[in-house]
Every structure is written in C-alpha cells, then in structure tokens.
Chain A
Amino acid sequence: MLKPLDQFSFLIRGFAGITWQMLVMWVIGGLLIWLAVKKDFEPALLLPMGFGAILVNLPYTGVLGDSGIVQWLYRTGIGASEAMPLLLFVGIGAMIDFGPLLSNPRMLLFGGAAQFGIFFTVLLAVLLGFPLRDAMSAGVIGAADGPTSILVSQTLKSSYTGAITVAAYSYMALVPIIQPFAIRLVTTRKERKIRMPYRPESVSKTTKILFPILVTMIAGLIAPDSIALVGFLMFGNLIRECGKLESLCKTAEGPLANLITIFLGITIAFQMQADKFVRLDTVLIMALGLVAFVFDTVGGVLFAKLLNLFLPADRKINPMVGAAGISAFPMSARVIQKMGLKEDNQNHLLMHATGANVAGQIGSVVAGGIILTIAKSLLH
C-alpha cells in the first residue's frame, strides 16, 4: 500500500532530477535568448539554440531518446547527411550577390588570407592537448560560418559540436566588437586612412551564370570534400543569377532558409546536453574560437599590408579591407565601412569590403573542405 505522499511523488520527480549542470545550461540558454532579444545578436539562431538548451536539459526530457523529436531531428537532419546546414547553404547562395567580387576579383585573395586563423587555432588547440579531430573542428570556428563549422565538426565526429556551433554563431554576432579590436592591433591610423576609389566595372550576365558553375568545378577538383558545401552554396547562387527562376530564388532565400533556421538552432541544442557541455574543455573551445576570429582578421590585414609593399602609391589597399575576407557576411563589410568613415569621413570602403567579404564566404567553405580532405590522411 502506497503512503499518501508517495502517490504524488511523480509531481516532484522532475524537481528531484535537476542537477547543477542543468542549472548552468538553463542560465546559458537564458543568456542566449537575452543576447538574441535584447542585443539583437544573430537572433534567428541564438534564440532557437537558447530555447533548445533549456528544452534538452530538463530532467527526463521527452525530446531526447529514441522517440525524442530533438534527437530525431539531429540524427536525420545533421547526423545522417548534414542535410540542414547544406540546405541552408542553398538559401545563403541565393542571397549573395557576387557582383562586387566579380567586378574586382583581386579581393578573392583576401578570402584566402583571412582563413589563417583557422589553421593557427588548430595548432594552438593541439598545443593545449586537444586531440587532432577536435583541434581541427575548433579551428573551423574561424571559418566564421555556422553551417561549415557544424558540417566539419560533425564529419570529424568531434565531441564538441555543440560548443563549436554556439561559438561560431556567437562570435559572428560579435564581429563588430572583435574585428575593430584586432584591426587596431596591427594597423596604424595612417594605414586605416588609405583611400580606395571605387571604380565599378560592369559584369556580364554570362560571367555571373558561369561563375557558380566554374567555382564548383574548381573547388570540387582540388578539394573534393568541399563539394557539398561549395556546390550547394553555388547552386543557390545559380538559381539567383540565371534570371529564369525568380520564384525558386525567392523561396530559397526566404521560406527555405527560414524553415531550416527555425529547426537548425533547436536541433543543434541536442549537443548542448549538460553532461556533455558543462566541462572545462567547452570553455577552452569557446576561447579558441575567439582566437580564430582574431587571427583571421590579423591574417587578412597583414596580407593586405604585404601586397601594399608591391603596389604603386595610387593603388594601395586599405589593410582593413583584408579583414573583411572572413566569412561573416555582411557584418564584416559593414564594420570596415564604419571604421573607414570614422578615420576619414570621405573614405567609403563598403564595396571593396563587400567584395572581400563574399570572397571570404567562398574561402571559408573551401577551407572547410580542405580540412576534411587533409583530415582523411591525418586521422587514419
């Protein structure tokens, strides 16, 4: 015979199952929601992730386990084929206008140089004692590209996918704080005042249509593992540029991207379960992500300074434009424009920075693919 109080024990079962780690995750979830709502930091992703962090960290939660919806979404949408980040890339490709880059293709070089932080961070992570696969995954936070970070860390089977995703999206939102700090570290006021007149040259429709096809082929031939990332990004762009699929383009950049975004955040929260997330390693991963962003910026700036050594005085590049070679589009370009105007209110760098910024979008997915390709031989 049950005692009267025992009959009500099911009501307090949940409370009894709360651990201090869960409380930490509730606070983190609340913080992410606060950053999204109050600070407007990547709200489309941080809000679902914050809510998801609370959802998966309730005791005996029904969203996990074999019949749990979050676990199913993760297994199907990310674990099985990385479908969610890749489908999101179709939407992103449909949103991007590569015109400023095609008009001034030398900006492509910055999209390469500003990936330096990724590789520097891999080395730093290894020196901190992380296994190589986790070090590579942490480095890819520097791709400043959420879907790429998710795909690489997932493919490499890193145990820090949750922390890496949170870091990738949070730091992207913090670009207006991180980049000015890093740029000032490695530039003088005189360099930041360099003017770059913008002489736009028209780009033919044929070029705009052939560009996504040829980029896919080049990236696919050199780094086959980048083909999913590059291919889906460029497929979205081809839909945009072909001029015949306006309705599909609108669907890709609107409803498709929105639908995936709604569920991506909450699905990623699967990796934010307290027992996996509340660890010293997670803090280290977040710190490494910050290092990656700073060194990406430094890499882009220093490369521009290097090029300036060989350029005539009237064709010098404002080194800040190099920093826009990270993939955080379009925040980084806006930051550079703002910094340029702050130093000289007639110095408009936006179009140059936008060119470097979309180059960074290509550079980051190529970097992700190259890491996956090289990882095959290193992680045998």
Chain B
Amino acid sequence: MLNWNLLAAYRGPAGPVSGENIGAALRLMGLGMLGIFIVMLLIYLVVYLLNKGTGRGNGKDDD
C-alpha cells in the first residue's frame, strides 16, 4: 500500500497537494478508462450485430 502522505509533503503552485486526491485521481484514471472502453466495446458489439442483422452490404435498404 502506497503512503500518499509522503507525496503530499510538498506544496504545488496551485495549493497544498492532498495525498487523498492523488489516490482519487489514480482511481479515476483506472475506472474512467475502463468505463470508456466498456462502453465503446459494447457499442462496437451492437454495431457489429446491427450490420450483420440488417443485411450490411446487400444493398437492400442502403442509402
């Protein structure tokens, strides 16, 4: 377990650095990127299924 308080010993130009915030930012990075990829993969899957299911390429109801 990292001790964020060691990192928080210094003061940044915008104010004191909070160890808790560093942990929260890292958690946000992990969860955020994971969340985006899950959404994108689901949309990918949906588009793939739609293209398969609606006769992609056969020109039936194409624009």
Residues of A within 8 A of B (CB): 101-102, 105-106, 108-109, 111-112, 115-116, 118-120, 122-123, 125-132, 135-136, 201-208, 210-211, 214-215, 218-219, 222-223, 280-281, 284, 359, 362-363, 366-367, 370-371, 373-374, 378
Note all chain A residues with C-beta closer than 8 A to B46. Answer: 211, 214-215, 218
How far in angstroms is the closest Cβ of chain B from A98?
9
Complex contact A108–B47 (CB within 8 A)? yes
Closest to A217 in B: B46
- Does B28 belong to the interface (CB within 8 Å)? yes
Complex contact A112–B57 (CB within 8 A)? no
- Does B51 belong to the interface (CB within 8 Å)? yes
In whole angstroms, how far apart are the Cα atoms of A105 and B11 in the complex?
Answer: 45
Complex contact B25–A205 (CB within 8 A)? no
Complex contact A222–B29 (CB within 8 A)? no
How far in angstroms is the closest Cβ of chain B from A298?
14
In whole angstroms, how far apart are the Cα atoms of A367 and B40 in the complex?
Answer: 11
Interface size on B, as a range, is: 35 or more
- Does B2 belong to the interface (CB within 8 Å)? no
If A105-B44, A205-B63, A206-B54 touch, whether A130 touches B32 (CB-CB below 8 Å) is no
- Ranked nearest first, the 6 interchain pairs of A and B with the lowest CB-CB distance are A129-B12, A129-B15, A119-B29, A204-B54, A129-B14, A112-B40
In whole angstroms, how far apart are the Cα atoms of A353 and B50 in the complex?
Answer: 22
How far in angstroms is the closest Cβ of chain A from B40?
4
Complex contact A370–B63 (CB within 8 A)? no
Residue from B21, B24, B42, B51 within 8 A of A207 (CB atoms): B51
In whole angstroms, how far apart are the Cα atoms of A222 and B31 in the complex?
Answer: 12
How far in angstroms is the closest Cβ of chain B from A192?
25
- Does B9 belong to the interface (CB within 8 Å)? no
If A129-B13, A222-B39 touch, whether A206 touches B32 (CB-CB below 8 Å) is no
Complex contact B13–A116 (CB within 8 A)? no
How far in angstroms is the closest Cβ of chain B from A198?
15
Chain A interface mostly helix, strand, loop or mixed? helix
If A205-B61, A207-B50 touch, whether A126 touches B17 (CB-CB below 8 Å) is yes
Complex contact A374–B47 (CB within 8 A)? no
In whole angstroms, how far apart are the Cα atoms of A367 and B32 in the complex?
Answer: 7
Closest to B48 in A: A105
Closest to B22 in A: A126
In whole angstroms, how far apart are the Cα atoms of A134 and B45 in the complex?
Answer: 35
Note all chain B residues with C-beta closer than 8 A to A363. Answer: 36, 40
If A123-B22, A135-B21, A371-B28 touch, whether A129 touches B39 (CB-CB below 8 Å) is no
Note all chain B residues with C-beta closer than 8 A to A204. Answer: 50-51, 54-56, 60-62
Mark B19-35 against chain A: 1 for CB-CB distance below 8 A, else 0: 00110111111011101
Complex contact A108–B40 (CB within 8 A)? yes
Closest to B46 in A: A214
Note all chain B residues with C-beta closer than 8 A to A105. Answer: 43-44, 47-48, 51
How far in angstroms is the closest Cβ of chain B from A327?
12
In whole angstroms, how far apart are the Cα atoms of A201 and B63 in the complex?
Answer: 12
Complex contact A129–B11 (CB within 8 A)? yes
Complex contact B32–A127 (CB within 8 A)? no
Residue from A118, A126, A207 within 8 A of B54 (CB atoms): A207
Complex contact B17–A129 (CB within 8 A)? yes
In whole angstroms, how far apart are the Cα atoms of A132 and B14 in the complex?
Answer: 12
Complex contact B32–A370 (CB within 8 A)? yes
How far in angstroms is the closest Cβ of chain A from B9?
12
Complex contact A115–B33 (CB within 8 A)? yes
Closest to A285 in B: B14
Q: Give 30 CB contacts A-B under 8 Å.
A: A102-B50, A105-B48, A108-B44, A109-B41, A112-B33, A112-B36, A112-B37, A122-B28, A125-B25, A126-B25, A127-B22, A128-B17, A129-B11, A129-B12, A129-B14, A130-B15, A131-B21, A132-B18, A132-B25, A204-B50, A207-B47, A207-B51, A207-B54, A218-B42, A219-B39, A362-B43, A366-B36, A371-B28, A373-B35, A378-B27
How far in angstroms is the closest Cβ of chain A from B15?
4
If A118-B32, A122-B29, A214-B46 touch, whether A127 touches B38 (CB-CB below 8 Å) is no
Residue from B15, B26, B43, B48 within 8 A of A215 (CB atoms): B43
